[in-house]
Structure 1
Amino acid sequence: MVDRKRICLVIPSLHAGGMERVMSELAHYFCKKKEYEVHLILYGLTREIFYDIPENIIVHKPKFEFNNSKRTWNTLKTLWFLRNKIKSIHPDTILSFGELWNNFVLLATIGLRFPIYVSDRCQPDKSLGKLHDSLRKLLYPRAKGIIAQTQIAKEMYSNQFKHNNIDVIGNPIRAVQLNDKIEKENIVLSVGRLIKSKQHDELIKLFVKIKKPNWKLVIVGDDALKQNNMSKLKVLIKELNVEENIILAGKQNDVDTYYLKSRIFAFTSSSEGFPNVIGEAQSAGLPVIAFDCIAGPSDLIKNNQNGYLIPLNNYEKFEEKLRYLMESDDERLRLGENAKKTVREFEANKIADKFYNFIIN
């Protein structure tokens, strides 16, 4: 029997998040390649698996719980686990996700000769602190290749890391299956983790200012990064006396139903790498209105063609355009139909092909 080649996917966990969704999509794609054996290493604090993964993928996790009260010791144990596990798998190629975590993987594999491809998933000019910024400059040149999500990110990484093998690959956008049985409602939808940079509080305030009592704002997403924003948003909604019009839906396994019954997708995030949820909303035929933060939304939204790009943190303009969309059936239809067409370039198989061709030599 011919020994199959091995692909090793490395990520802290597969909890609900954009980076994790992309890795799960790639896992399904790679596992269809009969000539490859696919391994998945989860080494973070929780090692949760929220997304569906293929039955034939081989999953590896540390056998010990990460004890935060003994953080240094547990970090060293995790480094040792990661190094030994990669050595035992002996992969032909490694794909690692996560701007903070890629340093960890590159540290764990110092002296090993397996090709490692790293991909950052955040806003490209974001500082991760002096230590991690310094580590990135030191360690990223060791990677066989770097995957940037946008052209802007590639230009920044070229200057930062002086690496000659950087490719731009957007995220595979999961297609939302249209369903005529789901009736549209007057819903403005937003999907994303309840973290400060998503600015859900500002979205709530401007939605209330528009004063459309026959419309609802639905926010799908849960707390993250220990910020406890769910409780803060609930307080804000109560203070504004809009409990009937603004719904915090929390984490949802079936996000597609929300896309399909909504009429508009609103995204007030100030910091992005490549926002999957914008592409998913577009595939469902929703017009999208988003802030034009430094990278991400502008790769998916063509202003006034398939959605609206608003200058960063210009809430007055955001409110004006959102109000217009809520009042104009024709404009929503025009932008939504265009969105369904333009998002096709990010179909999962097309993007997965690009990943595959880059990490397989």
Structure 2
Amino acid sequence: MKKICLIIHSLGIGGMERVMHQLAISFSEKEDVEIHLILIGKKREIVHSLPPSINIHLPQFEFDESSRVASTLKTMRFLRKEVKKIKPDTILSFGEYWNNLVLLSLYGLSHPLFISDRSEPGKDLGKIHNFLRRVLYPCATGYIAQTGEAKEICLSNGWNDNIRVIGNPVRQISTNGQEQREKIVLTVGRLIKTKHFDQLIRMFVKIGNPDWKLVIVGGDAKKQSLSKELDNLIHEMGAGKNVFLEGEQMDVDKYYKKSKIFAFTSSSEGFPNVIGEALSAGLPIVAYDCMAGPSDMIDNNKNGFLVPLFNEEDFKNRLEDLMHNQEKRERFRQNAQKSIQEYCPDKIANKFYSFITSHESNY
């Protein structure tokens, strides 16, 4: 029986969490594999169901924000104790801040430990975490990069030299092409500044097509409370009848299935799952060509448009073009679902599994 230990802060609704959730399920379906999932974050949420065969390990104490150092040390002791108890054949850890904590907590243990950053490659983590990353990342058995660009950044910084590029698993959103699509431009993501939803609202309003709606699905995050700002912007621009903030939604698929276009104005990504999901649902895409992710999935002028970062005029023109050109939308739709097949969950899970089980434990 092969034991795999998965470590993450929580299994909430974010992209990193969804990937770990999918991997946990896929690994658990393999014969003679035992999955242990350790949650080490502040909230330790699990919002999606997991098979009963997966062993879940949670700290039996609350993370006390008023005593962060003490709570962090308790978390580290808990993690080391659980791993020594599990005796895994291999470990996979997600999250650039959390990887440092995991590497520190498990320092000196002999289990193979694989790590993966899940945000913009080379993201500035601050002086302390940047230092820890330089010192600790080379101690990991291997590093999973989401894109080729992320791999080059990892190599150039000397973080690790055993690197495998593996994109995210993309959920297959079943559509038959016969859905009753509405004239909706959809965007999905947490309401944080780097998503630039304010820019998208302004560009959409400038197009001035009253037959179309802009629908934004996502809730406030990172204590930024942008929903109020965006709501005020919508009303200032007199767009209340055409622009809608839907908030956080558990069932995002219904939005993918009834929309005609997907817009993406983020400037900071690791590998944007929502682009993959939109393509899977057959949506043509207009996206900023930010540092990592969109160009891996979007073939410009075949399944969508890649726009230079922050070129609002070009973005607006591309979006307007798709809104008015049904023939182009249909052509992009057909190409979209074909282009995303390489990221089907089983293929991606097998790539992860092959890499993290390629080193035998010395335990």
Structure 1 CA distance for aligned equivalents of residues 265 and 159 of structure 2: 33
- The offset of 1:182, in angstroms, is 3.9
Partner of 1:301: 298
Structure 2 CA distance for aligned equivalents of residues 106 and 58 of structure 1: 21
Partner of 2:83: 86
Paired residues of 2:19 and 2:168 also in contact (CA < 8 A): yes
Partner of 2:103: 106
Q: Deviations over 1:317-346 (max 9, x none)?
A: 000000000000001111111011011011
CA spacing shift, 1:179–1:256, aligned 2, 3 Å = farther
What does residue range 288-327 of structure 1 map to in structure 2 within 5 Å?
Answer: 288-327=285-324
2:337 to 340, 351, 359: 340
Which runs of 5 or more structure 2 residues have no equivalent in the other structure? 359-363
Paired residues of 2:137 and 2:159 also in contact (CA < 8 A): no
**What is the TM-score with the length of structure 2 in the denominator?**
0.97
Identity of aligned residues (%): 56
Structure 2 CA distance for aligned equivalents of residues 229 and 98 of structure 1: 24
Structure 1 CA distance for aligned equivalents of residues 268 and 242 of structure 2: 27
Partner of 2:60: 63
- The offset of 1:204, in angstroms, is 0.6
**What is the TM-score with the length of structure 1 in the denominator?**
0.97
Q: Deviations over 1:145-173 (max 9, x none)?
A: 00000001101101112522101000000
Structure 2 CA distance for aligned equivalents of residues 147 and 313 of structure 1: 29
Partner of 1:210: 207
- The offset of 1:230, in angstroms, is 1.1
- Say which SS state the counterpart of residue 100 (structure 1) adopts: helix
- The offset of 1:34, in angstroms, is 2.3
What is the alpha-carbon root mean square deviation over aligned residues? 1.0
Higher RCO (C-alpha 8 Å, min separation 6):
2
Partner of 2:141: 144
- The offset of 1:52, in angstroms, is 2.8
- The offset of 1:180, in angstroms, is 5.8
- The offset of 1:85, in angstroms, is 0.9
Partner of 2:223: 226
- Say which SS state the counterpart of residue 161 (structure 1) adopts: coil
Partner of 2:182: 185
Paired residues of 1:290 and 1:308 also in contact (CA < 8 A): yes
Partner of 1:169: 166
The letter for the 2-side match of 1:270 is S
Structure 2 CA distance for aligned equivalents of residues 97 and 162 of structure 1: 15
1:354 aligns with 2:351: yes
Paired residues of 1:179 and 1:260 also in contact (CA < 8 A): no
